[in-house]
A = this chain, B = another copy of it.
Amino acid sequence: MTASYRKLELYFQRLAQLEHALTFLQWDQLVMMPPGGNESRSAAIAELHAMHHEMLVQDEVHDLLAHASDEALSPGQQTSLVEMKREWQRASCLPSDLVKAKSLAGLKCEHAWRIQKKENDWAGFLRNFREVVNLSRQEAQARLQADPGRFATPYDALLDLYCTGDSSQLIDGVFSRLREELPPLLARVVERQKGLHREIAGDFPVDQQNRLSRKLMSALGFDLQKGRLDESTHPFSTGARGDHRITTRFRSEDFIDALKATAHETGHASYEEGLPARWEGLPVGQARNLSIHESQSLLFEKQIFLSRPFITHFTPTIHACLPGSISFDDTRIWRSCTKVAPSYIRVEADEVSYPLHVIVRFEIERDLMNNDLKTEDIPTAWDEKMQGYLGLSTAGNYRQGCLQDIHWTDGSFGYFPAYTLGSLNGVQLFGAIRKAFPDWRERFIRGDIAFVREWLRTHIWSKGSTMESQQLISGATGEGTNPDHFLDYIEARYLHESL
């Protein structure tokens, strides 16, 4: 008998239809909606969220989860049940007062931050931010206590929302090595790049760039019958089976920016497209976590699109779509994409220094959530770490320091490590692909990337959430996330220009 489990499936499939509605209402809000629609849209989204939450946390679900554990389930159903429980527990373990208070404090803090950041106003920010930290610490405690034994620290309980299954201990091990090895490597890369002219600039009309981005999506194997490309301030990816919506942004003086974003979001969309249809609408059928998601987007952006052979293959298409780019050959284009220079701003950072930005944030948010750092001491910690890892001081420069990111303003602590775990996982996965297909360069040069998609579909996409994050990476590459591959790759690409 699997009656309770079957009921749960129907339940979660119904929840998934509310999620479908939310997905496209939010996409529309960012991409299509006229300004006048904001009020009614926000109200509808809030109400649908509330309905979703109510449906998920009602007593019947709790009882069904308990009964289903005693049923004779197949191994697949057992895994599915684990993921249902995870989703239920995440939603039900917080007192609703805390959820409401955190949401309000986050909205207030984020809203004011938009001005405070411009005005370099740390003191003003701190007044709102203390409450966000306070409530996030309470959230971490509540999540920790709801599942005793799973999380080692309060921070781990938050981390699990984004890097599900990757502990702070694992991350700390990986990051320690990067913290040690990357700064000297960065210095060598900067030294080597001196004198190599790398800028490309011009006037590249947006409609031409738009056509080019679509060609890139196709070249990366994405079926445009199953998705859309649009424009938005911040590129993102969302959607449902058969309907993946990605966005990019266009700057008329630079055509690389839009292409990188398009490749990145095509990676996210491809992962979603490859999720197992068998588990459609169930938690186990969803993407594993953010660090796996980011590994796919970064693999498409950095490992495929920005590889020398792919750029060689794609340059004629660039020339055909953008007459203004005709004087830039493939080497020039590749070099312009791989310029390295330490800077203050994470989102503008190159591939070599990016992990150091993340490590600064990881160490601070971990200590903050574990009560090992006071909120008011963040700027000092930030300055010390930036000096230590990147050689840049942010003393008194909050705007380009701890006020630069949106993530903490609404209490999304635990998110940042996913960027760098994703980067490392992407490099490691692509290393395994290079090993499996020694002729990968020739394939890329003639535009064949289908073998990469098939490999990823087999090892990552089709697995959904049936395996934990580190199991996925070991299953695909023979070992868990290992920073050595990233360090080797940085040397190969940035010191030897061989990737």
Contact = CB atoms under 8 A, between A and B. Distances in A.
A242 B47 CA distance: 18
Q: Which of A25, A37, A226, A241 has the most CB of B within 10 A?
A: A37
A43 to B, nearest CB: 7
Interface stretch (A26-34, A109-117, A416-424, A442-450): A26-34
A439 B17 CA distance: 54
Interface residues of A, number: 34
Contact of A21 (B48, B226, B243): B48
A43 B43 CA distance: 24
A372 interface: no
A38 interface: yes
A319 interface: no
Interface in A126-169: none
Interface string A387-401: 000000000000000
Contacts of A24: 24-25, 28
Nearest to A46: B17
A198 interface: no
A44 interface: yes
A227 interface: yes
Contact of A14 (B18, B47, B224): B47
Interface string A35-63: 11111110110011001000000000000
A394 to B, nearest CB: 40
Nearest to A227: B34
A349 interface: no
A96 interface: no
Contact of A241 (B39, B48, B223): B39
A17 to B, nearest CB: 4
Contact of A20 (B44, B51, B243): B44
Given A48-B17, A51-B14, A39 B228 contact: no
B25 A223 contact: no
Given A21-B21, A48-B21, A224 B34 contact: yes
A225 interface: yes
A190 interface: no
User: Looking at chain A's contact residues, is the secondary structure mostly helix, strand, loop, or mixed?
Assistant: helix
A242 B36 contact: yes
Contact of A243 (B14, B37, B224): B37
A71 to B, nearest CB: 25
Contacts of A223: 36
A240 interface: yes
Nearest to A280: B40
A226 B34 contact: yes
A239 B41 CA distance: 10
Interface in A228-252: 228, 239-243
Interface in A173-207: none
30 contacts: A17-B43, A17-B44, A17-B48, A17-B51, A18-B48, A20-B25, A20-B40, A21-B21, A24-B25, A24-B28, A32-B32, A32-B228, A33-B243, A34-B228, A34-B242, A34-B243, A35-B226, A36-B223, A36-B226, A36-B243, A37-B226, A37-B239, A37-B240, A37-B242, A37-B243, A38-B242, A40-B240, A41-B240, A41-B243, A44-B240
- Across the A-B interface, the 3 shortest Cβ-Cβ residue pairs: A37-B243, A36-B242, A36-B226
Given A21-B21, A34-B228, A40-B241, 17 more contacts: A17-B43, A17-B47, A17-B51, A20-B25, A21-B44, A32-B228, A33-B243, A34-B227, A34-B242, A36-B223, A36-B225, A36-B242, A37-B239, A37-B243, A39-B241, A40-B242, A44-B240
